[in-house]
Amino acid sequence: MKIYNTLSRKKEEFTPRENGKVSIYVCGPTVYNYIHVGNARTFLNFDMIRRYLRHSGYEVTFVQNITDVDDKIINRASEEGTSPEEVAAKYTWAFEKDMESLGVEPPDIAPRATEHIEDMISVIEGLIEKKHAYASAGDVYFDVSTFPRYGMLSGRDLDDQIDSSWTEGKDKKRAPHDFALWKAAKPGEPCWKSPWGDGRPGWHIECSTMSLEYLGSGFDIHGGGQDLIFPHHENEIAQAEALTGEKFARYWVHSGMLTIDEEKMSKSLGNITLLSEALIHHSPETIRMLCLLVHYRSPLNFSEESLAEANASCERIRRCLFNLKDLLERLEGEKMNLERTERENKLLFLLEDSQSDFRNAMDDDFNTAAALSGIFGLVREINAYVQEVSSYKTPAARLMLSECEGRLEEMLDVLGLSGLSKATPQQYQASARVRIQEPIDSDELIKILLDARELSRETGEYEIADMIRKRLMNLGIKVEDLRGRGGRGQVLQ
């Protein structure tokens, strides 16, 4: 299996720290607002990575923190006229609900920053002792000049970026890129006692502390959105490696950004779509499909068109599984016969091929777009087979159909799309099939078809008009157009 490592900027063979086990830390939400679809993409991508690693036989430990103390939470509390604790509790709950409705599995461990303040203080003390950090008027800063590898993740050359006129924090910091590990408390803010006075931790130290605590130095995958590469992840590496003298994380994996109608989604542009809003109009499977149709590192455009495409992709799979299950239901009670036709042997090979293609695509840095295109190919084959068996039942039909169902559902499950097979024939019928309960008036039915044909001709959809004419002809019903008489077709049986 190959994984693209942001640190080396190339795909690397994946070798975990411990044989058969994978440890993952993903930066979780700062709980000051409902999450938007861009945030959701990151969590869906890591859910997919986690599922696939587990499917590949690894025992996965997945840690994702909750940042429940932060400037944004404090600001939100004053906007909402409530306390930061209440803001954090409210949006943590909302986040968990959102993830549940998307079908994202909860983390194995979801540490909250406020439950680890003591640990953070010890880490900061360790950094001061090793002369990588300094206290200054109630704050503590990381001294970037003591960590020569700083910039290795983001590829930034700090010397080029130093603005000689920097003023922010100049009274407290030694250099512009030094960042806060501990912030002195301002009146009315949540704070904890520390050797440097009352205060609270900086955001970056939270993640270094909690990931080291639960996974230890040199854990396997550290993940987050691409927007976290700098400064958050760069700072996390500096803190952790300066403290331990060991490699912090083996693979850095970053999920691509989401744009809305080709524009960056941002509060200032006012084009944020909350996940909960998106879920009113679209199924969780559509949102997940939208993400999976694009490689996890590529940019993804969130638009009516891309959503419609994702929805149509879901529908293709749903319909295939529905028809397959419907036919299986009708074959129930028949013997599971092994006598396959030549055609069925070929289909069996194809099923096996499609599984290995799926694995190859996913082993290549989780290429879900390629994996899905294989699935759609398989769906086409299954559709054709279902059609054939519907009119000519073969002895091995039941066995073959179960085989198709099993393999397709297994791949969907790995991608978190098993919801697509949940539609029972009864549920699906409502939108896709007609069950005829009583003898029907065939004249009226033909009239409906002719009206539809006429309408499609008027609107220039000749393909539809032609399809209706041909299908009626196959039933022995000839449609003749009577020009100059209002254009109405006439039926000759």
Contacts with Zn ion, residue ranges (CB under 5 A): 27, 207
| Nearer to Zn ion among residue 207 and residue 423 (C-beta) | 207
**Smallest distance from the beta carbon of 232 to Zn ion, in angstroms?**
6
| Nearer to Zn ion among residue 240 and residue 328 (C-beta) | 240
| Nearer to Zn ion among residue 108 and residue 364 (C-beta) | 108
| Nearer to Zn ion among residue 207 and residue 275 (C-beta) | 207
CA–CA gap between residue 146 and residue 175 (Å, rounded) = 12
Q: Are 340 and 396 in contact (CB under 8 A)?
A: yes
**Smallest distance from the beta carbon of 27 to Zn ion, in angstroms?**
3
Secondary structure string (H, E, C) spanning 349-411: HHHHHHHHHHHHHHHECCCHHHHHHHHHHHHHHHHHHHHHHHHCCCCCHHHHHHHHHHHHHHH
Q: Phi/psi zone of residue 422: left (φ > 0), alpha (ψ -120 to 50 degrees), beta?
A: alpha
**Smallest distance from the beta carbon of 207 to Zn ion, in angstroms?**
3
Q: Are 2 and 11 in contact (CB under 8 A)?
A: yes
* 485 φ, ψ (degrees, to nearest 5): -120, 45
| Nearer to Zn ion among residue 208 and residue 368 (C-beta) | 208
* 487 φ, ψ (degrees, to nearest 5): 75, 5
CA–CA gap between residue 356 and residue 349 (Å, rounded) = 11
Q: Are 35 and 98 in contact (CB under 8 A)?
A: yes
Going by C-beta distance under 8 Å and a sequence separation of 6 or more, which residues neighbour residue 79?
none
| Nearer to Zn ion among residue 63 and residue 275 (C-beta) | 63
**Smallest distance from the beta carbon of 121 to Zn ion, in angstroms?**
18
**Smallest distance from the beta carbon of 366 to Zn ion, in angstroms?**
21
Q: Are 53 and 22 in contact (CB under 8 A)?
A: yes
* 336 φ, ψ (degrees, to nearest 5): -80, 90
**Smallest distance from the beta carbon of 30 to Zn ion, in angstroms?**
9
**Smallest distance from the beta carbon of 14 to Zn ion, in angstroms?**
22
**Smallest distance from the beta carbon of 259 to Zn ion, in angstroms?**
23
| Nearer to Zn ion among residue 69 and residue 207 (C-beta) | 207
**What separation in angstroms does the CA of 228 have from each of 52, 142, 154, 254, 348?**
23, 18, 10, 8, 45
CA–CA gap between residue 234 and residue 248 (Å, rounded) = 11
| Nearer to Zn ion among residue 143 and residue 234 (C-beta) | 234
CA–CA gap between residue 285 and residue 102 (Å, rounded) = 8
Smallest CA-to-CA distance from 382 within 357, 407, 361, 416 is with 407
**Smallest distance from the beta carbon of 171 to Zn ion, in angstroms?**
28
Strand partners, 12: 3
**Smallest distance from the beta carbon of 24 to Zn ion, in angstroms?**
13
| Nearer to Zn ion among residue 121 and residue 207 (C-beta) | 207
Q: Which two tokens stand for residue 164?
A: 């000689």
**Smallest distance from the beta carbon of 120 to Zn ion, in angstroms?**
13
Q: Which two tokens stand for residue 101?
A: 């409705």
By the 10 Å C-beta count (0-12 exposed, 13-18 middle, 19+ buried), 303 is classed as middle
| Nearer to Zn ion among residue 182 and residue 322 (C-beta) | 182
| Nearer to Zn ion among residue 221 and residue 347 (C-beta) | 221
